[in-house]
């Protein structure tokens, strides 16, 4: 199995700000702007907050409710008011990022871990804002085990439930344009099919924080087994040994600023399996 760290959601260039960590600890990743998407920010639903208003406030009006929203990965059935029968979470990738996944041999059964930049948010009585001097972190917020892979070059939207709502079925994405459909259940040693094949973690917890405390968000602190010394492969895009630094039984990693998909072979890092289970069963 391959494990893919996948950078998604708003950032300094796409959207222009962090994603939201709400006052109750809820994580709310934002779809990036996309004028070709069939969906707008006004279409998004959340039980506790109006996403379009939150995004408008945090971007200071640069991203408005009527703007197109690239809802991808599409992990939460409740994110839209209506879903077709048979819907499962979908994730699209195209161009150079999809080429990288192909070159890395990503296939059915492999597991994406989605992460993004998050900052705490509060409400000052008139609008939402980022909490001054709040944490600035990369957090894991979702997972997606590949159940099937669909090349969209000439494929009918009716072939995959929900594709008519998915941004990769619209606009000009190039010839290498793929949509992944999630497995129905997560197949992972130690979880025995107890989890759906894809979904979102609703809250921040220590096990899913990537950023080292007190450091810039791109400086990660990971379990020591991630270090590539003595391994047959390395986390893709991170082959430079200067990016890795042992820190007790942990390892510091300077995450690359470019790239979306970073692939790790669990065949070479079998310690990944119990670590993955810990993401779903965090300590109390």
**Mean predicted lDDT score pLDDT of the chain:** 95
Strand segments (E) across the chain: 2-7, 19-21, 27-28, 32-33, 69-70, 90-94, 111-123, 128-130, 137-151, 177-182, 198-200, 219-223, 244-247, 250-254, 261-265
Percent of the chain, pLDDT > 70?
A: 97
Per-residue model confidence as pLDDT tens digits over 116-166: 999 999 998 899 999 999 999 999 999 999 999 999 865 555 578 899 999
Domain count, the chain: 1
Rounded to a whole number of angstroms, the distance between the first and last alpha carbons of the chain is 28
User: Beta partners for 200?
Assistant: 142
Smallest CA-to-CA distance from 72 within 36, 109, 110 is with 36
Domain around 83:
2-280
Residue 268 to residue 231: CA distance in whole angstroms: 6
Per-residue model confidence as pLDDT tens digits over 164-205: 999 999 988 888 999 999 999 999 998 877 899 999 999 999
The whole-number pLDDT of residue 154 equals 59
Residue 259: pLDDT band with limits 50, 70, 90: confident
Residue 254 to residue 245: CA distance in whole angstroms: 9
Q: State the average pLDDT over residues 257-277.
A: 95
Per-residue model confidence as pLDDT tens digits over 12-45: 999 999 999 999 999 999 999 999 999 999 999 9
The whole-number pLDDT of residue 59 equals 98
Give the pTM.
Answer: 0.96
Look at residue 273 and give its three-state secondary structure: helix
The whole-number pLDDT of residue 90 equals 98
User: Beta partners for 222?
Assistant: 251
């Amino acid at each position: 199995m391959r494990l893919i760290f996948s950078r998604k959601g708003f950032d300094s260039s796409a959207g222009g700000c962090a994603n939201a960590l709400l006052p109750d600890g809820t994580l709310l990743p934002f779809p990036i702007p996309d004028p070709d998407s069939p969906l707008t920010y006004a279409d998004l639903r959340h039980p506790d907050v109006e996403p379009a208003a939150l995004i408008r406030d945090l971007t200071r009006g640069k991203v408005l409710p009527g703007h197109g929203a690239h809802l991808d990965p599409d992990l939460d059935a409740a994110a839209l008011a209506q879903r077709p029968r048979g819907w499962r979470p979908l994730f699209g990738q195209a161009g150079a990022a999809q080429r990288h996944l192909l070159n890395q041999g990503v296939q059915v059964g492999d597991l994406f871990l989605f992460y993004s930049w998050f900052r705490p948010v509060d409400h000052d009585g008139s609008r939402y804002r980022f909490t001054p001097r709040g944490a600035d972190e990369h957090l894991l917020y979702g997972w997606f085990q590949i159940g099937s892979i669909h090349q969209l070059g000439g494929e009918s939207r009716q072939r995959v439930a929900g594709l008519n709502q998915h941004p990769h079925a619209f606009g000009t994405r190039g010839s290498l344009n793929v949509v992944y459909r999630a497995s129905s259940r997560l197949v992972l040693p130690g979880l025995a099919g107890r989890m759906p094949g894809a979904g979102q973690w609703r809250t921040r917890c220590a096990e899913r924080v990537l950023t080292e405390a007190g450091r810039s968000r791109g400086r990660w602190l990971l379990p020591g087994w991630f270090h590539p010394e003595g391994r047959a492969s390395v986390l893709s895009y991170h082959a430079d040994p200067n990016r890795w630094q042992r820190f007790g039984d942990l390892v510091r990693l300077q995450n690359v600023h470019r790239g979306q998909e970073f692939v790790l072979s669990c065949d070479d890092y079998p310690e990944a399996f119990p670590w993955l289970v810990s993401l779903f069963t965090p300590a109390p």
